[in-house]
A = this chain, B = another copy of it.
Amino acid sequence: MEPPTPHKRTGRPRSAEADRAILGATREALVELGWGKLTLSDVAARAGVAKTTLYRRWAGKNELVVDAIAALFEEQLDLPDLGSLQADIRGVVLRFAGLLDHPAIRTGLMAVVAEATHDDALRLRIREAIVDRQKHLVLLGRARAQSRGEIPPDDTDPALTARDADLIFDVIAGSVVHRVMVSATPVDDDWADRLALLLVLGLSGVRR
C-alpha cells in the first residue's frame, strides 16, 4: 500500500495522509459510481486532494483501482484455523465471496483484469498487489492440514509443490469468481460446503 513510485531523499516528503485519503476515496467512489463513472477528478475532490497529487503517485485509473482493491484484500483475507481442512477451505471461500459481494470490488476487480488482458504491466501489478499475496493462504492451509495428518507431507520436489498450490489456487478463486460474476448466484454456506468437500476428496489423490 505504500506509494508505488518511491522517491528520493531530498525535498518535502509526500504526505502519507494523502495516500490514505485517496485510496479511501477511491473505494468510496467505486462503490457509489462503479468503474465506468469513476473519475480521477472526483476521487481527488473526495479525498480533499489536488488532482496533481494523485497523478504524482499513480499512473492512471487502473493502477489506482488495483491498489485500492488490494488494500481491501489485505485487510479482509486471512485464514483462521477452523479445525479441519474442509472447514478452512469453506471459510476462505465464504470470505472471498464476501469480498466480491461489494459491487464496487466486483466491478473494479473485473475491470482491471479485463484491461490486463492487453497490458502486461498492469497484469504484473495485479499479480503483485493482489494475487500473490493471497496465494500464501493456500500454502498455509496445506501446512495446517499436513500437521493435522489430513494430507501427506510435501513432495520432496518443491517445483511439484508449487505446481499443486497453483492448481488449488486457480480452482478455489476461479470457482468463486465464476459463481459470482458469471452465474450471478450468491455463494451460500451450502455451495461453499460442497466446493470444500469436492476439493478435500479430490486432493487426496491429485498427486501422482
CB pair A114 B107 closer than 8 Å: yes
Contact (A115, B171) CB under 8 Å given A183-B166, A206-B194:
no
Using Cβ atoms and an 8 Å threshold, which residues of chain B touch A173?
A: 174, 178, 182
CB of A15 within 8 A of chain B?
Answer: no
Most chain B CB within a 10 A radius of its CB, from A166, A185, A191, A201: A201
Protomer copies: 4
CB of A110 within 8 A of chain B?
Answer: yes
Q: Give chain B nearest CB distance to A105 CB in angstroms.
A: 10
Per-residue CB contact flags for chain A residues 177-207 toward chain B (1 = under 8 Å, else 0) read: 1110111110000010011011111111110
Residues of A bordering B, CB below 8 Å: 31-36, 62, 103, 106-107, 110-111, 113-119, 123, 126-127, 131, 164, 166-167, 169-171, 173-179, 181-185, 191, 194-195, 197-206, 208
